[in-house]
Structure 1
Amino acid sequence: MNIPNILTLLRILLIPVFVGVFYLPWGWANELTTLVFALAAITDWFDGYLARRWNQTSAFGAFLDPVADKLIVAVALVFLVQITPTPWMAIPAAIIIGREITISALREWMAEIGQRAKVAVSMVGKIKTTAQMMALLMLLLAGSDHELLFGLPLYEIGFVSLYIAAILTLWSMIVYLQAAAPILLEENKKEEKKEKKMTKQ
């Protein structure tokens, strides 16, 4: 257990805190909710940075880090749909959560056949994550009252950023699927050959 992994575990432990704070009956609950989410986002950056800097990467960390990210992002998206229960908020939320499930399943399958490196995190994925985190921070801070920050319409900026993140989410998914497609087709052909041999026997 090293510091990067401890930070990742801390991010998971922050999820119930995030949920509890969101439902507090206080006028400044959305500010506190945003602070907890921001803290989780900071640990996300630091655990990866420290793991590379101190050469403390591990199989456990490689598994846990993306799980922690997806969990807190999914919870935040559910909260945003609750705050603004409209199709326009549900659509990007469904796209982002659906993409994460799809890519997680793809990576698991690729790992089983020893090809996980083919679907490693790309630059598009990193840009998507940045846009997504910024959008969630602004929307959580704006809350249901659509509060302003220094005169800036946080909700409107966050809403547009969320759609940008959703578009980048689809783009990055296509990039991953294109990388995995030749391997998927090759494995499918192998399975077909095995079935034909078994049929002949």
Structure 2
Amino acid sequence: MTENENTPDPALQEPTPAPESSTLKDDLTFATAPNILTTSRVVFVPIVIALLFRRTPFMDFFAALAFTIAAITDYFDGYLARKQNSESVFGKLMDPLADKFLVVSALCMLQELGRIHPVVVILLICREMAITGLRALASSEGLIIGASNSAKWKTATQMTAIPFLMLKRDVLGIPVYEIGQALLYISLAISLWSAKDYIVEFFRAIRKKRQRKKEARLARKLQSKSKR
């Protein structure tokens, strides 16, 4: 980590009260364009799996196309939520889950087809489970873990690699399968690196929070003694 110890990490911080003008909805509002796009990624999961199950180059192409369309919605739901100032609790909860459903399902199916090594899938899934657990633990401590830049690069690299792995065959002389393999291993490296970042920042934030609590208790004791 190159950041100063006293500089708060934007991906891991204590929640602050939202200003009165904020439009972040405190309910599970669904009927917004960003949330519909987010949910559509989950709808695409069985479509992609069904197409891959046909095990033909023609269906592989449509599986890659369907996955690509679903992946593109990951950009537009966030863009629309910011532009329309319509971020919601549903969107914040469902957006990362929809990404995981889409990516993990595709990875498992590609492993079943023998296109990626099972160890890669195991490492990626274990990483996702570990970070999800870390987020839950952070929440119990009153901390919020947002997506780091490295995690965003990880997701982008995975979503680029997977359609190439689905196509498998060369396209216009371009070895798309080999490119997909290379991108997947790059995403694995980024994934493990970003997990390390999350863990380091989590424990750093926990130490800072507990230190502040200790200082606050000491200050109250000193104030109480001074009044006697």
**TM-score, scaled relative to structure 1:** 0.84
Q: Hey, what's the Cα distance between the residues in 2 that align with 1:188 and 1:150?
A: 59
- Whichever residue aligns with residue 195 of structure 2, its letter is M
Distance apart, 1:32 and its partner CA: 0.9
Q: Hey, what's the Cα distance between the residues in 2 that align with 1:27 and 1:114?
A: 49
Q: Secondary structure of the equivalent of 2:142?
A: coil
Q: Hey, what's the Cα distance between the residues in 2 that align with 1:188 and 1:35?
A: 49
Distance apart, 1:149 and its partner CA: 1.1
Distance apart, 1:188 and its partner CA: 9.3
Residue number among 122, 138, 142 corresponding to 2:148 in the alignment: 122
Residue of structure 1 equivalent to 2:16: none
Residue of structure 2 equivalent to 1:49: 79
Cα 1:75/1:114, change in 2 over 3 Å: same
**TM-score, scaled relative to structure 2:** 0.74
What's the % identity of the aligned pairs? Answer: 35
Aligned-residue RMSD, C-alpha: 2.0
Task: Say which structure, 1 or 2, has more relative contact order (CA 8 Å, 6+ apart).
Answer: 2
Residue of structure 1 equivalent to 2:186: 164
Residue number among 119, 139, 142 corresponding to 2:165 in the alignment: 139
Query: Structure 2, unaligned stretches of length 5 or more?
Result: 1-30, 214-228
Q: Hey, what's the Cα distance between the residues in 2 that align with 1:182 and 1:175?
A: 11
- Whichever residue aligns with residue 14 of structure 1, its letter is F
Residue of structure 2 equivalent to 1:10: 40
Residue of structure 2 equivalent to 1:94: 122
Contact 2:57 2:167 in 1 (8 A): no
Structure 1 residue ranges, 4+ long, deviating more than 3 angstroms after superposition: 183-190
> Which protein is richer in helix relative to its size?
1
Residue of structure 1 equivalent to 2:25: none
Contact 2:60 2:167 in 1 (8 A): yes
- Whichever residue aligns with residue 45 of structure 2, its letter is I
Residue of structure 2 equivalent to 1:29: 59
Contact 2:158 2:184 in 1 (8 A): yes
Distance apart, 1:90 and its partner CA: 1.4
Q: Secondary structure of the equivalent of 2:87?
A: coil
Query: Structure 1, unaligned stretches of length 5 or more?
Result: 191-201
Contact 1:134 1:158 in 2 (8 A): yes
Q: Secondary structure of the equivalent of 1:84?
A: coil
Residue number among 79, 82, 89 corresponding to 2:112 in the alignment: 82
Residue of structure 1 equivalent to 2:96: 66
